[in-house]
Amino acid sequence: MKVPTQQDVDTGNALPLMEAFYTLQGEGYHKGSAAYFIRIGGCDVGCHWCDVKESWDAERHPATPIASIVSEAKKYANTVVVTGGEPLMWNMAPLTQALKLNGCATHIETSGAYPLSGQWDWFCLSPKKNKLPLEEAYARADELKVIVHNKDDFRFAEEQAKQVTQSCKLFLQPEWSKRDQMMPLMVDYVLQNPHWKVSLQTHKYLNIP
């Protein structure tokens, strides 16, 4: 297989692959389900609490041909979750087309801050205050997952919820380092605002990737 060129990356036929692994979905609507995760390098959203800061610099991660990524993915699971980093910094069309041709359901986890590309069976939008989603991301979201780091994030969550469709599933998730402080507030908030559900990072409690 030839070494990918910059043109391959620019067209989405190769992607800066940080890691890929088979595990359980730990968060949100599909938590507990088996899935193959593809983590793409590159992100400039800059969340100070991000737990995968090593993903931010795309140049640290080798450009990997789509064919290689998909051939590994199809060995493990029918559901493939593309995450990052921020995957929509790259053209996702070639990857999702190849995954679908191999019978895989395609899920994405994204801040929505970049133009949409790719064919998605499930679109998890996790908006960030410092780089807000584009309008098209709100319209596409199947799931809205807002990270709760402080009390102001409840206000932010409601602002974001007003912009998604009525069918979109709404989740509040405590930022891991603040979970002990924020969980009691989240429980009270959801009891008073039952259109929301609580999401936990169950993979961390289970000690799996």
Q: Is the pLDDT of residue 73 over 70?
A: yes
What is the pTM (predicted TM-score) of this model? 0.95
Residue 164 confidence (pLDDT) above 70: yes
- pLDDT average, residue stretch 63-92: 96
Report which residue type is found at 197: K
List domains and CATH numbers for the chain.
6-206 (3.20.20.70)
What is the spatial distance between Cα 169 and Cα 26, in angstroms, rounded to a whole number? 16
What local confidence, expressed as pLDDT, does residue 1 receive? 58
Which residues does 42 contact at the CB level (< 8 Å), separation at least 6?
A: 16, 55, 56, 57, 58, 61, 84, 85, 86, 89, 90
Beta bridge partners of 110: 125
Instruction: Give me the mean pLDDT over the 114-134 stretch.
Output: 97
User: What letter would DSSP give residue 2?
Assistant: P
Angle (nearest 5°) at CA 67 between 102 and 142: 55
Listed in sequence order, the residues at least 6 apart from 153 whose beta carbon sits closer than 8 Å to its beta carbon are 146, 147
Say if residue 165's pLDDT is above 80: yes
Bridge-based pairing of strands 169-174 and 197-198 is parallel
